[in-house]
Amino acid sequence: MRKGDRIFVDGLATVKMANGVILMDFFNNNANDVQESCGEIVMSQQAFLRAYNAMDDLLKQMIAAGIVRRNENAGNNAAPAADSASPNFD
């Protein structure tokens, strides 16, 4: 990938650690709403922790701004709810 390239993903399929590195597999939904792999990121544990902290900080800002909300009825592992759709399909 060249500097400045952007890849849109609909979601994160798996996150795992192998041989001390973090592997994150991403997917896009196709026209039949079937998940298709669209790439993988491999990073060090330190890079993963920095990315996690950055995403956690952004999530807190989004909650404070009212962009997303926590689903209090879904338990501790529930992702915040957001009203957004994939730009891949109309």
Q: What is the pLDDT of residue 86?
A: 47
Domain ranges for the chain: 11-64
For the domain 11-64, what is the CATH code?
A: 2.30.31
Note whether 9 and 16 are within 8 A (CB): no
Give the pLDDT mean for 43-69.
96
In this structure, the dihedral spanned by the alpha carbons of residues 51, 53, 55 and 61, taken in order and rounded to 10 degrees, is -150
The string of pLDDT tens digits covering residues 1-27 is: 677 888 899 999 999 999 999 999 999
Per cent of the chain over pLDDT 90 is 67
**Dihedral sign (CA 26, 7, 59, 73):** negative
CA end-to-end span of the chain = 27
Q: Are strands 35-44 and 21-29 parallel, antiparallel or unpaired?
A: antiparallel
Closest listed residue to residue 11, CA positions, set 31, 34, 32, 45: 34
Pick from 35-44, 46-55, 63-72: least confident: 63-72
Closest listed residue to residue 47, CA positions, set 26, 28, 20: 20
Average model confidence (pLDDT) for the chain? 86
